[in-house]
Chains A and B, each alone.
Chain A
Amino acid sequence: MKTNSKNKASQHVSQNPLSRRGLEEASISIQNINKSYGPVQALQNISLEINRGELFGLIGPDGAGKSTLMRILMTLLFQDSGTATMNGLDVVKDYKKIRKIVGYMPGRFSLYQDLTVEENLNFFATVFNTSITENYDLIKDIYIQIEPFKSRLAGKLSGGMKQKLALSCALIHKPEILVLDEPTTGVDAVSRKEFWEMLKKLQEKGITILVSTPYMDEAMLCTRVALMQKGKVLDVNTPQKLVENYDRKLYAIRSDDMHRLIQDLRSWEKTDTAYAFGQFLHVTGKADETEACEFENYLLKKEHRELQVFDIPPTIEDVFMNMMNE
């Protein structure tokens, strides 16, 4: 059985024209990486293995260390200690080779604002010794959306269009690994959905994708995620497993006065946490011993009207917040 599945896996990989080297090992391998800026420990002993063809998410707020880790992988920053390889290539020794096989979209818009859309794309193609036509297939779905504006200056594009151009430029040399630093920060809910649909399509083409985001809901769209905070990895798993592993009793509660509701719950000795989640509060009891009916009775005594209390499955955000509190 074991050999069989291994054969299958390697067959699958070798069919992928994008993977040429080291078929067996992980696409991105990170071992015991440390990085400090003066007294600030930006990364503390980070180890991660990201498989070929994964759409892997680094999920965490500002200051978690996501960008620092990405810059080290992109050979733009030296780690203090530890090692990392990209498709078998060492990030320090083989930096020149790595730069040929990776595509990178930094957090800040980093294209030439005073070149047009088409000029930017041509520039990046030329730098990588290729042409737009040679790899047009890969970017077609994305570029087609901005092509009507190809003679517009990049600096004059809207946020969503800038993002599509930046992605096209990052893909123009047909990279084996794509690294995207918070591509959806400050982007509206509709454009965010569209962007993730594009990423799924790229993943299906066999590109390994490492993407960071502060939006917890986007974690559900990744094959696996690392939850990060303050330079540490809190957990690595599939988003489904992360949610399954949440072992607390979680209740959704609402009433006609949400502001008073949250205050009443927080001041009660049997409440552990009470956080707003859209139209409901997500609430846990001390040691998970508080039952739904107890919450209900307490809140009825406090004269809350239109009260609803029920069990609710956790979201990734509940999982993350629980880990932050531990």
Chain B
Amino acid sequence: MDELRNINIKIDGIEISVPQGSTVLQACEAAGVEIPRFCYHEKLSVAGNCRMCLVEMERAPKPIASCAMPASEGMVIKTSSEMVDKARKGVMEFLLINHPLDCPICDQGGECDLQDQALYFGKGETRFENSKRAVSDKNMGPLIKTTMTRCIHCTRCVRFANEVAGVEDLGATGRGENVEISTYLEKAVTSELSGNLVDLCPVGALTSKPYQFVARPWELTKTESVDVMDAIGSNIRIDSRDGKVLRILPKNNESINEEWISDKSRYAIDGLSKQRLDTPFIKIKNKLQKVSWDEAFEVINSKISKISSENCVGVVGNQVENEAIFAFKELFKKLNLNKILPFQKKLIFSNENRSNYLFNSKIKGLDKCDYLLLIGANPRVDSAILNARIRKNYIHRDLKISSISSQHFDLKFNYDYLGSDVKILNLILEGKNKISNDFKKANFPMIIIGDEVLQNDCSLDVQKVSISILKKFGGFNKKWNGFNILHNYASTVGAIDILSEYSDYNHSALKNDINNNLIKFVYLLNADDFDFDISSCFVIYQGHHGDKGAQLADVILPGAAYTEKDGSYTNLEGRLQYAQRATFPPGDAKEDWTILRALSEKLGKKLDFDNLLQLREKMFNSKKMLKFDENIYSSEPKIITKSDFKSSKLNYENKNFFMTCPISRCSSTMAECSQVKD
């Protein structure tokens, strides 16, 4: 944007200079003048159909729609003149002609743009004496409740669906008085981002179905936190009341999730109050019985003292915060145990260098990138927000995208499908494939490696060749690093950061040990998605839900879910973010690091921190985790492997976007969503 000239414009007597290409509305915003609007949204295209943003422009005969009018040199804008006031009152009166006066029973009440703006800019009365029109409600699936009579046809939802989400099912049918917003043939909206339609709707036409008639906004306690449903680390706001999480909304963060969050992040919260572990259990005669914390610790103590270190393994789950992983590691260290598995699935990458396992281009880099190669990645399922970001570049800058994956996935943008054989990478490297030219032309080429590769034996080979390709075509320099690993789980990067120096235990080693009957004692830290058989072992499960791990457990230690504890998470870029506690864990459940701390004391190996601050101080000793700067691109990753491509075909794994963790599996909303998909 540097090369663009600035233009000078005068708003309400304030001289201001704005970049060329700004609209009058943006200039007003820059001058600190608030312009009421309904249809304008800075992340969507300009529609200009609500007319609420009318302002007076000198030498113009009538008010202009500031959202659609480009600012030009020397313009003089008035936003509080009589003309503007009259225009706003008039528009408001028109908008309210067909809008029902049902605010008392409307879920949007209290946070409704129309309500607020009617109060500040409206007339306060109407001259319209005829009947209001009524519009039948539409079915938009299990997440969105519609009351279409309230719709003011701003078309924000239509534009969001078409531009951001990439589902072209939403539209405005009919004309004039008969316009209705509807999905095509009233099918449910099949997008992972559909919940954002609710946020976008400036009135109560689209409201959240799971949240209907639950609470008023002024009753809620708002906690800003971080989402753990994927590795993106979307910023969220948790709204709670009386110790219960009632809803989750996105929090704006341009570097990560912009203004959106996925439906899973938003709606899986009803799982937080189902199947919870609220008291310690021990298994007696194959039956789980409630016990006190002391009794549970006693059982562990008696068991662990008899076990030798090679028979014991710890498994870190997918949504564990860094603090608990660190405490877990410290406990194992004290007990002289060194088998800790940082993640449950088989994921092969080298952890020597931090840039080997991070999303080095950063999420923001997706806006800059000019050629993208996906290898074994299905970002739509793995991280819907990231997919929307790729689509944004695809829509606005015609980003060229190619993909090597097991299947030709529907990613909501067009791409060049290169088949499922990763050996093609060698051809690209040698310049024998047409893709090589795309790489050559690109200034900011990007490769994203997804878990179809990471789970495959060829993982390191693919990574090595990818690095060579990027190196050859200028993918690494001071201003760019095009090598990206797409992680799926919130705790993966944190776990590697913390555990890589301590233990290099991995999935295949564990499988080997299990086959050799070496494993007798398993400590699952919130781990429910493992694919190995530990039914014959003594299992401790520490976590918050009665899911797969708890079923196998001999001792259950009830922990806290992500909304119930302070903790930090490292997202796939390596960015450390702090989540805040919104509610308290149920019953006797405790925050995870405190459980580990208490257990250590019981085992006679007291961990040397007494509060979260001390723990964090110790954890950040290595400094590695704090090292993150959005504008600094790390040096190129280095991978040592023979690269003989023993296997080269990527395999498809059927994933259900809506059910990937204990919380979302317990959520009935998510269950409904996955049924709609089918």
Q: Do A and B come from one complex?
A: no
Q: Residues on B close to A: CB < 8 A? A: none
